[in-house]
Structure 1
Amino acid sequence: MSFEILEPGLSTTVQDLGRLGYYNVGIPQGGSMDQWSAELANAVVGNTAAEAVLECTYLGPRFRTTEAAVIAISGAPVDVKVNGENREQWTRLELAAGDEVSFGFLQSGTRFYIAVRGGIDVPLVLGSRSTYSLGSLGGFKGRKLEAGDIVPVGQAPATATAGLDGIDTAMRPIFTRDQDIRVVCGLYDHRLTEAGLDTLLSSTWTLTPVADRTGLRYAGPAIEWKPRQQPFGAGSDPSNIVDAGYAVGSIQIPGGKEPIALHRDAVSGGGYAMVATVISADMDLLARNAPGTKTRFLAVTMDEALSARAELKAVRSRLWGK
């Protein structure tokens, strides 16, 4: 069983839950940018949460099935067509051999996901099937899909369930052009003046077109840094530090303007001060931002961040019946 890629879309890659445990040697966690949407698609077709899916950015692929298949489409709202006929997201789609699947333009958001019963069956690399394009690692030959690719689909185990009949509206992610993103301040927020920190947390930021799997850049007012004589090994700008490790979700402000929130494929360290970090519970929300989205960074405590993570874990447990 496989998908024959007729048109690849703008950037279609294989992703799963990510490649954890190698960030210390410079390999990012990767995985689906919007993990919740990917999990919902897997739940619909009867997969586990860990099965690999196709992540489609802005413009989706056109593909043909070689055998009968069960798929589901989740994530950003998009027109779905099977053999030219409109079909629905968030529900199981039964395909026959030779059926052709295509997509229209996104109505909002940035990415949607295609799950297939049995999962996308590319080789495991360091424990994950996720594509890390910058390192040509994992996924389908370490890259985004191209026309003519034959993407293998795994065999669903005999114990696989039929999956969910659909996803209740209350469980589906919301795609909006106005968002609040929760952050924990630090490690280097002390390098900002009081006014600079207030600007970061009180301003409304606009997502620029410079937004991908590595990070999302926001436009807004300049942020004031405390003057100092830069230490040996740091750059000349006040936002530079001697190299340090980056937490996933870290917010940097190179040159004192245009904050960048690092995401799934971000590098693991560098010389920019991290003034705040997006909490893990809001990383999927951050991934849904399309250019032009108005965003506010709301400071929360570590206890509040841990509570939000526990709440999200409980929701996932209900989805998977664990």
Structure 2
Amino acid sequence: MASRAKATILDIAREAGVSKSTVSLVLQGSGLIRPETAVKVRKAIEDVGYVYNRGAANLRKAHSNVIGMVINDLTNPFFAELAVGMERVFQAAGVVPFIANTAENPVRQEEVLKSMMEQGVAGLIVSPARGTTPGAFRRIEAAGVPVVFAMRRLPESRIPAIAPDNHRGAVLATEHLIRKGHRRLAFFGGSSDLVVYRERLGGFLEACETLGIPAADRTIVEGETSRKGGMACLETALALAEPPTAALCFNDAVAFGVMLALRRRNLEAGVDFAVVGFDDVAEAEHYSPALTSVAVDTAGLGERAAHVMLKMIQSRTTRAEDHIGAVSLVVRESSGPDRNNQVGDAA
């Protein structure tokens, strides 16, 4: 969305049919204004798309060198690595990054975004929480503040997104498992309300279709994108009459949960059940057994998002091109062959 003139207090006053001083008092939370008048003014604020810049009100600064980083789950090492990549670029540019964790809560996300806008941030990099709708960013776009989505995009949104090639990564991982000899495959974790889930599941299904795995031998188990979610997915799958022998997991956190659940059953990943993750976080290489995972250059994508944001701010625009990052499959110990149906694959 191209930058446009920001709404002013005068616009609000005209819309509400009150004076500028009345609008100012409402914005300051004054108790001097009658409740019905305050309601009318607040409705006008929403209608004209005005954003109260508390930082400007308090400090009268000409501009801000603060950028908000709103992350959906900082307990996931993937998103922590992503944030580090962003922060590295911002520090080198003399920009102050403010980071917030929304814990996958869209209500908390709305509160954080509102607060950051009021503080006068120059831009926002957001990894949207589950349940976020495109409408959540309309006021921010109307205010002319540049926004970049990191790792997750929203359907029907024109906000630029920086993300890995999720579909291609899932194809590579699924092909690897099939060529290892597995014929009953599963996709664990995530949910259909996430675009990234649909992209990764789509790659899984495409590879199964291409390499002759019938629908009856594909198990799809939605779940939390966490270790806890991975453990639950495995228990569900192993309770089937003909359980899968291998799984592509929505992310590495789910994969770690699957491996923990296997261990509790005295089973071993890569020996009794093959596991592949997605993201290739630093822990994957050092896990036991080491986790096969789709590498997405997490820190590099974070750096790319930061560079795009700085360029948008300098160009005074809210538009930029999407960037889809390259992926590769890093094969380690966790994705061993199906011992009951071994087909050679030296990879």
- Same topology, TM > 0.5: no
TM-score normalized by structure 1? 0.31
TM-score normalized by structure 2? 0.30
Higher helix share: 2
Q: Which has the larger radius of gyration?
A: 2
Higher strand share: 1
